[in-house]
Amino acid sequence: MTSSATHPVDPSAEESLVDRVARISLLLGLLGPLGFLGWLQDVYWVFKIAEIFYLFFLFFFIPPGLVLLRGFWNRIYSVFRQVTGTGHGGTSLIGKNDPRAWIEFGYEPSPFKTLQMLALFVHPTIAIRGLFQTAGAIVAYLRHGGRLPRPETFESTVEYRPPFDDKWTVLNGSPDKQYSHSWFPPRQRYAYDFVITDDTGSTQDGGDGVESFYCFDEPIWAPADGTVVRAKDGHRDHHRTTGWIDPLQYRLAGNYVVIKHAENEYSFFAHLKQGSICVESGDHVKRGESIGRCGHSGNSSEPHLHFHVQDHSMPYIGAGLPIQFDAATNHPELQSNECTQTYIHCGQTVTHNMYD
């Protein structure tokens, strides 16, 4: 089964409009500096009119800004649904037709968690990192002239396997905008959050602490041959796992690794277990080689693996890349489990093709 059978990769009209507005506004805004000529010589006074084009930079920032505001609202509304118990089980803002509706993760509703979510927006680390992400998003748009990579325009030069063995579940992420991990910032546009679920869809065995989650301490593998360009360890795994965010976090990604696989193709692994990273900058890794273990470090509400591929080694200014995996995908409502090169989507289970 290919993922396109249940989630066709068909960018929406809204996405096309956002990209088009950003691109045109960028090009028109670049005409603004011509106004400088009008201040050099009076004979060139007519060029002062060009300064009005600076206003188009506002339109360049508005589309991603609206997406960011909508994401903020959805997050707040999700917390409200969790606290009032109107969401699906332990998930947030999941409707019965959502492909993730069968997943039950370890979120326990609490009014204090609502206050925590609001406090996160003024948390020093998150606020500062958020500014960096916004600035990096601007750079990413500029680097691509407003034309960010999309499934129908990007073709990877690398064959990627899932960064794990056995069967994992896609909690968040898809090349489709509707189910994207985060459409803004651009580097996380095609990111994934992976967990392990049991037959009931639960991500934990009912015990306490991080050890009760099936994915915690599971090995994480390099998805393709490459060279490690960054490896950061030393961040603690938060002891709370039921939706609380670590107030002492100082890196959103927690313990993370970045690997270069090809020119402009870098994989990014976040929230790894403290002390588990077994590679360092400059190391050459082979496809399927261990790089660390799944953890609960950084900005994480429960143990999981965050994974994405971007086009730059610097995390903040990269643009996310839509990639296909050499894997078998499935969904509880479907029976097929065919191994193939495919996009993967939230709600699916993913198994590495052990015969590659």
**Contact yes or no for 215/304 (Cβ under 8 A):** yes
Give the domain extent around 76. Answer: 3-16+59-352
pLDDT for 292 equals 98
In a domain, 41, yes or no: no
Number of domains in the chain: 1
Instruction: Give the tens place of pLDDT for each residue, 313-343.
Output: 998 999 999 999 998 788 765 544 555 678 9
299 token code pair: 């900005």
The CATH number of whichever domain residue 268 belongs to comes to: 2.70.70.10
153-176 pLDDT, tens digit each: 999 989 999 999 989 999 999 999
Residue 62 has pLDDT above 70, yes or no: no
Mean residue pLDDT of the chain comes to 79
| Mean pLDDT, residues 40-54 | 69
Tell me what pLDDT residue 202 has.
92
Predicted TM-score (pTM) of the model is 0.77
Asked if residue 332 has a cis previous peptide bond (ω within 30° of 0), the answer is: no
93 vs 2, more confident: 93
Residue with more model confidence, 244 or 83: 244
Is 203 inside a domain boundary?
yes
| Cα torsion angle, 161, 159, 267, 330, sign | negative
Token pair recorded at residue 166:
């056995």
**How far apart are alpha carbons 141 and 186 in whole angstroms?**
8
Is pLDDT above 50 for 76?
A: no
Angle (CA) 349 352 356, round 5°:
150
Examine residue 219 and say whether the peptide bond preceding it is cis (omega within 30 degrees of 0): no
Asked whether residue 72 is assigned to any structural domain, the reply reads yes
| Torsion angle of C-alpha atoms 253, 256, 261, 262, degrees rounded to 10 | 40
Check whether 190 has a pLDDT greater than 60.
yes
pLDDT number for residue 28: 73
pLDDT at 94: 55
| pLDDT per residue as tens digits for the range 251-302 | 989 999 999 999 999 999 999 999 999 999 999 999 999 999 999 999 898 9
| Nearest CA among 78, 352, 349, 79 for reference residue 214 | 349
In a domain, 325, yes or no: yes
